[in-house]
Structure 1
Amino acid sequence: MSLTDLMAAVRTEVRAAADRDTLLQIAAERLACRQCGQAELLASLREREALCSTALGHGIAIPHGRAPGLEQPRGILIRLQTPADFNGEPVDLAFAMAVPSHYTHEHLALLAELVERFNDEAFRQALRRAPDADALLALLLRPHAQAQAA
């Protein structure tokens, strides 16, 4: 299963500087939907972040959490104009994700695909050069093989 197959709602956004908690608040607000509210999503993202930072290195973080009310995964890629501090790791690209509580394999598959995509330096640089949120979304939703060629 690919990222585009699993994500019901993927959004992108370019933002001014934020600290980690503000970034989590923004992500929870954007991920909220009628099945799952902002407060529940924020609590889930904070709970996961408290276990261990979701920063991967190379300026990337993948904050994620589970929510029982969700029917399908939701995600947002946020590019920060100035990096946020994730426990000493500067992050300028964050893909925040919320998945239904019953997702186990699917959650791990999404994380694995995101990690693989973000480990590609050319893909990271293309995201950083993208002129706007629409261009970010096009890059993110492009099949992985095509994204590597970009």
Structure 2
Amino acid sequence: MTFESLLQPGRVLGNVEARSKKHALDILSEMLSSAADLDQGEVFQSLITREKLGCTAIENGIAIPHGRLSEIEAPVGAFLKLSRPIDFDMPDREPVDLIFGLLVPVPEDDVGCHHEEVSNIATGLGDHVLAAALRRASSSRALYDLLVNHDKSHAASA
């Protein structure tokens, strides 16, 4: 799974003003719901339900909120770069400014998990060079290009 397979330029936003974690999840749910003509409230509830199980923030100011919905057939993502970091309920209180939202389908047997997808995103965003470049990017298009080009550069070196 690649950033390019999950994202479209319209689902990558830079310099987003989010007042709180809940507000950031609301913005993400709006972006994700537009990807597959989903109900924004359902998407938001899916993200919130997962957050209640434990914080989805990882190190270096990055969070990967994710949820499952039966209405989609393939994973879909959205990316936010916040203008100011926000508290994301990390135990160490490290604020978050890079957020990748992910929705995955519910498997027919309802026992499958999406750890591989989240792990792939965490590995990509965990690249400190990429994270620094994303923080320096001045436009949504530049963010999208950085993510997609990161896929391509890592595919070429694999």
| Structure-1-length-normalised TM-score | 0.87
Q: Is the Cα contact below 8 Å between 1:9 and 1:73 reproduced in 2?
A: no
Q: Which range moves more in the overlay, 9-18 or 63-72?
A: 9-18
Paired residue secondary structure (1:86): coil
Among 93, 102, 116, the alignment partner of 1:97 is 102
For structure 1, list consecutive stretches of 5 or more residues without a partner in the other structure: none
CA distance in 2, matches of 1:47, 1:120: 28
Q: How far apart are 1:86 and its partner, in Å?
A: 0.7
Q: Does the 8 Å CA contact 2:4/2:151 hold for their aligned counterparts?
A: no
In 2, the alpha carbon distance for the partners of 1:113 and 1:127 equals 17
Where structure 2 has 5 or more consecutive residues not aligned to the other structure, the ranges are none
How far 1:143 moved relative to its partner? 4.2
Which residue does 2:4 correspond to in 1? 4
1:133 aligns with 2:140: yes
Q: Is the 8 A contact 1:32 1:41 kept in 2?
A: yes
**Cα distance change of structure 1 residues 8 and 138 upon mapping to structure 2, 3 Å threshold:** closer
Cα distance, 1:142 vs structure 2: 1.8
The ranges of structure 1 where at least 4 consecutive aligned residues each deviate by more than 6 angstroms after the TM superposition are none
Helix, strand or coil for the counterpart of 1:142? helix
Q: Which residue of 1 is the match for residue 50 of structure 2? A: 48
Pairwise CA distance, 1:130: 1.0
Identity rate of aligned residues, in percent?
A: 34
User: Relative to structure 1, is the Cα distance of residues 74 and 54 closer, same or farther in structure 2, using a 3 angstrom cutoff?
Assistant: same
Shift of 1:8: 6.3
1:35·1:71 contact (CA, 8 Å) conserved in 2?
A: no
Distance in 2 separating the partners of 1:16 and 1:57: 21
CA RMSD between the two structures: 2.0
Structure 2 counterpart of 1:114, one-letter code: I
Total equivalences in the alignment = 145
Where 2:71 maps in the other structure, the secondary structure is coil
Q: In structure 1, the residue corresponding to 2:55 is in which secondary structure?
A: coil
> AA paired with 1:91?
V
Tell me the TM-score normalised to structure 2 length.
0.82
Change (3 A) 1:45 1:128: same
* CA distance 1:138–1:9, change in 2 (3 Å): closer
